[in-house]
Every structure is written in structure tokens, then in C-alpha cells.
Amino acid sequence: MRSRSGVWPGLAILVLVASCASDGDVSEPAEELEVGTIVGTIDGAEWRTTAALAIYAGGRLVAAGTGSGNLTFGFGVTAQATATYTTGGNGSASGSLADTNNSVWEAAGPGGSGTITITSFTANEVAGTFSFTLVRTLGSSSPATRTIANGRFRVGY
């Protein structure tokens, strides 16, 4: 009978490496996040998704995901290069947050404010940072405004 003692050290190393893998901590650059990740703080509480979806068509990037607290966050920006884009300004950046009570907060043209900075833009992936102050546009969930800070994303399309 053959000994399998060589399997256990290899398995232990694999578990150790996996436990040290990136989980998108606050200091990690956007380009080092796993593809499909959006992270940030919403009203001071950490929020993340690791299953974000993105579409890039006609020069418009739209990405969204549901994460912590069953909050769904998405953003859109008209962009073709690395740069900083603002709501109501160049690139028509926008952000939207929704909860399970059908309340929606938005940062777009007339309400809210924010920026999206694209730091890496390739043929099939984009990464960057964002921040938004969103105003409630639908529903009655409190508060009337929400703040998203320290936002980072890396999505494929």
C-alpha cells in the first residue's frame, strides 16, 4: 500500500495560501482586487460584493452588485480612458443604491454628487475608485441621504 503522507503538507500549504488571499481590505489598490469586486463604506459601514457584473458598450460602463446588508449598489460612467469623472460633468458619472424595502438613493445630474476615477482601463477590464453622496429618490427608508466613501472596484466585461 502506498503512503499518502506527501498529500498533507501540500494541502496544508494550499489552505495557508488561500487564507492569506486578498479579501479587498481598505488599503488594497483597486487593481489588486479580484475581478468582479466592488468595495467601500456606506455611511461608515464596510460594504462589499465579490460578484459584481459589468457591461461596457457604446463607451458607457455600468457595474452593479449586491453585498453586505442586502444593499445593491451600481454606478455608470461614459468613459474611454483613465480619468476622473463627476456627476453632472464630464463623463456623466452616476451612482445608485437600493435596499430591500424598495428605497433608492441616487447621485446623478440634479441630485447628489460624486466622482468615479478610472485608474486602469483595458479591452476587457476596468478598475478604479469612487465616492458618492446619494439622495433618496424612491421609498421611505431612512436616512434621506447616504454617503459612500473609500469605494474601489475591479470589474470585467
pLDDT digits (tens, 9 = 90+) for 82-99: 999 999 766 689 999 999
pLDDT tens sequence across 1-13 = 433 333 322 222 2
* pLDDT tens string 102-131: 999 999 866 899 999 999 999 999 999 999
- The residue ranges of DSSP E strands in the chain, in sequence order, are 37-42, 45-49, 53-57, 60-66, 72-78, 83-86, 94-98, 104-107, 113-121, 125-138, 145-156
Q: What is the pLDDT of residue 119?
A: 97
Residue 22 has pLDDT above 60, yes or no: no
